[in-house]
């Protein structure tokens, strides 16, 4: 995507923000599901770590794009592990991305309606909000399980609109998953931002389809540069 479309904040009333990879470092989730859980599963099932990882990655993949993908109760039952308890054991890895707090404070000063909209299970949400204390920055937090569809599903956005009543033309969504942005675009949400560095351990990977940022300071710096002299948000 060559041309950068500068956001006109005067035309944005509602901001929808993803959690994992967008506000929070996805390294925690990647490490948990791809390294930590396979180690525990291997020990429990007399497998090597590599064997367990291969089995689990295939098992996860089969539920991708469904609510089961992030359902901790589902995975606890399937894997015979206490997944919520295991998540808490390594919660020191839960980190907020750089500039997120600055961006959330900016949105509060600008009096935008701000919603956390996540595919994460409610138990995951509880663990992460307890660790980060971000919940006070949002007008409301909506998990996909409340809507009954994952965000990749076009029907999610209509279900969400029944809950929070937003105008598609004045709404911004920031996400680190292109499939979700594509789904939102098809529904008609106008302002779409792709977060190109969801994990601190992975390289930047920009989208060819959507406006890409590495961190939210890019939007803050852009806003300062385009703001008329003497006006503060």
The predicted-structure confidence for 139-159, as pLDDT tens digits, reads as follows: 999 999 999 999 999 999 999
4 within some domain? no
What is the pLDDT at residue 2?
43
As a whole number, the mean pLDDT across the chain is 94
Do 72 and 112 lie in one domain? The reply is no
45 within some domain? yes
Phi-psi region of 65 (alpha: psi -120 to 50; beta: other; left: phi over 0): left
Do 112 and 212 lie in one domain? The reply is yes
**pLDDT > 60? residue 230:** no
40 within some domain? yes
Please answer whether residues 118 and 152 qualify as being in contact, where contact means their C-beta atoms are separated by less than 8 angstroms. no
Do 101 and 198 lie in one domain? The reply is yes
Residue 224 banded pLDDT, cuts 50, 70, 90: confident
Do 87 and 145 lie in one domain? The reply is no
Phi first, then psi, for residue 140 (nearest 5°) are: -165, 155
Q: Which residues pair with 14 in a beta bridge?
A: 113, 171
What is the pLDDT at residue 61?
94
What is the pLDDT at residue 202?
96
Do 66 and 146 lie in one domain? The reply is no
* 173-185 mean pLDDT: 97
* pLDDT tens sequence across 198-222: 999 999 999 999 999 999 999 999 8
Name the percent of the chain lying above pLDDT 70. 95
Look at 78-92, 127-141, 213-227 and tell me which has the smallest mean pLDDT. Answer: 213-227
112 within some domain? yes
More confident call, 223 vs 214: 214
Residue 4 banded pLDDT, cuts 50, 70, 90: low
Please answer whether residues 217 and 223 qualify as being in contact, where contact means their C-beta atoms are separated by less than 8 angstroms. no
Query: How many domains would you assign to the chain?
Result: 2
Q: How far is CA 98 from CA 104, 137, 220, in A?
A: 12, 16, 12
Do 124 and 177 lie in one domain? The reply is yes
* pLDDT tens sequence across 42-83: 999 999 999 999 999 999 999 998 999 999 999 999 999 999
Q: Over the range 83-107, which residues count as b (16 or more CB within 10 Å of their CB) and which as e?
A: bbebbeeeeeebebbebbeebbebb
Do 221 and 136 lie in one domain? The reply is yes
1 within some domain? no
What is the pLDDT at residue 205?
96
Which ranges of 6-99 does DSSP label H, i.e. alpha helix? Answer: 27-31, 37-45, 49-61, 72-79, 83-89
- By residue range, what is the domain housing residue 169? 9-25+94-226
Using a 10 angstrom Cβ sphere, with 0-12 exposed, 13-18 middle and 19 or more buried, the burial of residue 51 is: middle
Domain boundary among 92, 117, 134: 92
Do 15 and 124 lie in one domain? The reply is yes
């Amino acid at each position: 995507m060559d041309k950068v479309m500068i956001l006109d904040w005067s035309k944005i009333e509602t901001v929808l923000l993803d959690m994992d990879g967008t506000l929070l470092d996805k390294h925690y989730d990647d490490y948990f599901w791809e390294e930590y859980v396979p180690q525990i599963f291997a020990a429990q099932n007399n497998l090597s770590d590599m064997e367990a990882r291969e089995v689990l990655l295939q098992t996860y993949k089969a539920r991708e794009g469904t609510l089961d993908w992030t359902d901790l109760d589902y995975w606890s039952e399937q894997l015979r592990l206490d997944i919520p308890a295991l998540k808490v054991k390594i919660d020191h890895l839960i980190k907020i991305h750089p500039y997120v707090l600055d961006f959330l404070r900016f949105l509060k000063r600008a009096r935008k309606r701000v919603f956390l909209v996540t595919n994460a299970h409610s138990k995951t949400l509880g663990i992460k909000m307890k660790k980060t204390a971000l919940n006070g920055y949002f007008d409301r937090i909506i998990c996909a399980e409340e809507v009954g569809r994952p965000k990749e599903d076009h029907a999610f956005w209509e279900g969400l609109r029944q809950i929070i009543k937003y105008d598609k033309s004045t709404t911004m969504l920031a996400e680190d998953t292109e499939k979700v942005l594509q789904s939102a675009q098809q529904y008609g949400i106008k302002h779409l931002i792709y977060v190109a560095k969801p994990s601190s351990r992975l390289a930047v990977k920009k989208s060819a389809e959507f406006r890409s940022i590495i961190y939210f300071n890019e939007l803050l710096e852009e806003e300062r540069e385009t703001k008329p002299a003497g006006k503060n948000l």
